[in-house]
Structure 1
Amino acid sequence: MLRHIAQTRGVQTLIHSVFPPECLSCRASVASDDGLCGLCWRDTAFIAGDVCDGCGVPLRGDVQSGDRCDDCLRTARPWVQGRSALLYKDRGRALVLALKHGDRHDIVKPAGKWMARCVQDTLRSDVLVAPVPLHWTRMVKRRYNQSSLIARAMAGRLSVPICADLLRRDRATATLDGKTREARFDEMRDAISVHPKREKELEGRSVLLVDDVMTSGATLAACTEACLKSRAREVCVVTLARVAKDD
């Protein structure tokens, strides 16, 4: 075992001597493969402290355990808890878009680590991790599901089971960008279902849904409702980033 570790470290040292680690954002030299430089770390809005129990957005003032933000109070959430690793703005937004549209798979490992950290205190003992699915036509075009990639990285970090094909998108939904809240929920209605071959794995268990970004919560709500319809015990959600209104 020790010999294997030594060999692995030797390979890593060799790789780093040829390809020095770079910041995920600005490409400046950093100490590890999955890090941000000091400046980019400060400019990335990681979420910490008191958060909304429904979506993970930061809360201010006199906060009690289980409190929810105005958005989650206004829109009923079918899931029981939600967390997010960072706010969808500035460098955080750029990282998410690079992962989603830029083939930046080097972001997957650190994203999984950030997400694991924000859910570790709320993790259920019987949890089953599941990514938000893409329709097959979108999958062909993009070649990968970014939510599945970060779900695998997070699940590996937490040493919990994952079912990558638990959910499926039954129709090619239109992009939600630019749509109103009501239009987003209308577009996602009945668009998600549990894969028939996976229903027994789901029944009576807690599910942790994973997505890259939460805006209105319409996609996560559709996924949650599909899980509950197939008799999941409860559903929690986690996203890499959360869209939040500026104060």
Structure 2
Amino acid sequence: MGDKFSSLEWLPDAVERAELPDKHRLKDLKLLPYLKRSLSFVLDALFPHCCPVCSELVQGEGGLCLSCWQKLDLISAPYCERLGVLLHYELGPNAWSAAALVNPPDYERARAAALYNGPAQELVKRFKFYGEIRLSKFLAGCMLNPGADLVTAESFLVPVPLHSSRLRERTYNQSALLAREIQKHLGGRSLLDGLVRTRKTNQQVGLKRGARTANVKGAFEVSEYFLAKVSGAHVVLVDDVLTTGATVEECTRVLKAAGAKQVDVLVFALVDPENLSDYNA
């Protein structure tokens, strides 16, 4: 081998030359945030964002205008420890509502970001039936605060599943999108196929409590993959709306029969039991 390759004298020069492209790339990387912000500014100017409820112009994608935000009935304390519904006055820690006392659910706790009325109702409709999946980030963002009560590092986030035929029609499961977004921020383990819907059921919209319960009876089972993990697990069921609770109660029964230790429920919006007759969600 020639003297050049038998000596190490050439190495420093070669290394120095090799570093030059990396330095240039670092400079380019530093410019990326500015380029992205500039591109975002141009796109916002060409394609302005609108409030998904009233179509007023807003600055950020997927956000509400100030007027609609103020009309959103966000749930805060005091609320029922079991059902997550608003209480009319403070009853102390771990207080239960009258509805929870009369008819306690199979799941341990439910939490929601807002009451299902006004803007919340419109948001869910657009997200669920009109394909506006971009709303998943906004809805999940609203769910983070109530979700912090439920989700731990050991929790399994399991969305309420759609039947395969309905999933083909809709092309996405809105509950799975929410579960994925929540897991990014609160941790836990999202298990998008933890439950399976074994038969196609009628839409729950418009059905009364008894009909809803009958409609989903026997419609779910724990997936084969989750069966090996569910024993002793803490499961947080994720859905968009909690109305009578028939669907999540059936899911809870199936999960507990398979060995789940505790099942909680996290939704974007819920219907106050006192006003249940006013809604057909």
Same fold (TM over 0.5): yes
1:201 counterpart SS class = coil
Q: Which residue of 1 aligns with 2:209?
A: 181
My pick for the range that moved more, 54-63 or 107-116, is 54-63
| CA displacement 1:2-31 (0-9 Å, x = unmatched) | 735555444433432332332232222223
* CA–CA distance in structure 1, aligned partners of residues 42 and 150 of structure 2: 39
Q: Does 1:44 align with 2:111?
A: no
Q: Does 1:29 align with 2:57?
A: yes
Post-superposition offset of 1:55: 2.5
Equivalent residue in structure 1 for 2:233, among 195, 198, 205: 205
2:165 counterpart SS class = helix
Q: Which residue of 1 aligns with 2:150?
A: 122
* CA–CA distance in structure 2, aligned partners of residues 76 and 159 of structure 1: 28
* CA–CA distance in structure 2, aligned partners of residues 125 and 78 of structure 1: 23
Contact 1:52 1:59 in 2 (8 A): yes
> Cα 1:223–1:5, aligned 2, differ >3 Å: closer, same or farther?
farther
Amino acid at match of 1:67: A
Q: Which residue of 2 aligns with 1:164?
A: 192
Contact 2:136 2:181 in 1 (8 A): yes
- Look at both structures and tell me which one has the larger radius of gyration over its CA atoms: 2
Q: Does 1:194 align with 2:226?
A: no
TM-score, structure 2 as length reference:
0.81
Percentage of pairs with the same residue: 29
Q: Which residue of 2 aligns with 1:61?
A: 89
Q: Which residue of 2 aligns with 1:217?
A: 245
* CA–CA distance in structure 2, aligned partners of residues 56 and 12 of structure 1: 39
Between the two structures, name the one with larger relative contact order (CA 8 Å, sep ≥ 6).
1
Q: Which residue of 1 aligns with 2:6?
A: none
> Cα 1:117–1:10, aligned 2, differ >3 Å: closer, same or farther?
farther
Q: Does 1:143 align with 2:171?
A: yes
Equivalent residue in structure 2 for 1:227, among 252, 255, 258: 255
Contact 1:55 1:242 in 2 (8 A): no
Contact 2:150 2:236 in 1 (8 A): no
Aligned-CA RMSD value: 2.1
Runs (5+) with no aligned partner, structure 2: 1-25, 277-281
Contact 2:127 2:135 in 1 (8 A): yes
Post-superposition offset of 1:99: 0.8
> Cα 1:56–1:10, aligned 2, differ >3 Å: closer, same or farther?
farther
Runs (5+) with no aligned partner, structure 1: none
Q: Which residue of 1 aligns with 2:271?
A: 243
1:165 counterpart SS class = coil
1:237 counterpart SS class = strand
Give the number of aligned pairs: 247
Post-superposition offset of 1:68: 2.3
| CA displacement 1:67-124 (0-9 Å, x = unmatched) | 2223222222111111011111111111111111111112111001111121113323
| CA displacement 1:177-221 (0-9 Å, x = unmatched) | 333322222222221110012212322221110111111101001
* CA–CA distance in structure 1, aligned partners of residues 201 and 275 of structure 2: 29
* CA–CA distance in structure 2, aligned partners of residues 157 and 201 of structure 1: 23
* CA–CA distance in structure 2, aligned partners of residues 8 and 208 of structure 1: 36
For residues 88-127 of structure 1, what are the structure 2 equivalents within 5 Å? Answer: 88-127=116-155
Contact 2:152 2:187 in 1 (8 A): no
| CA displacement 1:23-70 (0-9 Å, x = unmatched) | 232222223223211111111212122112223211112322222223
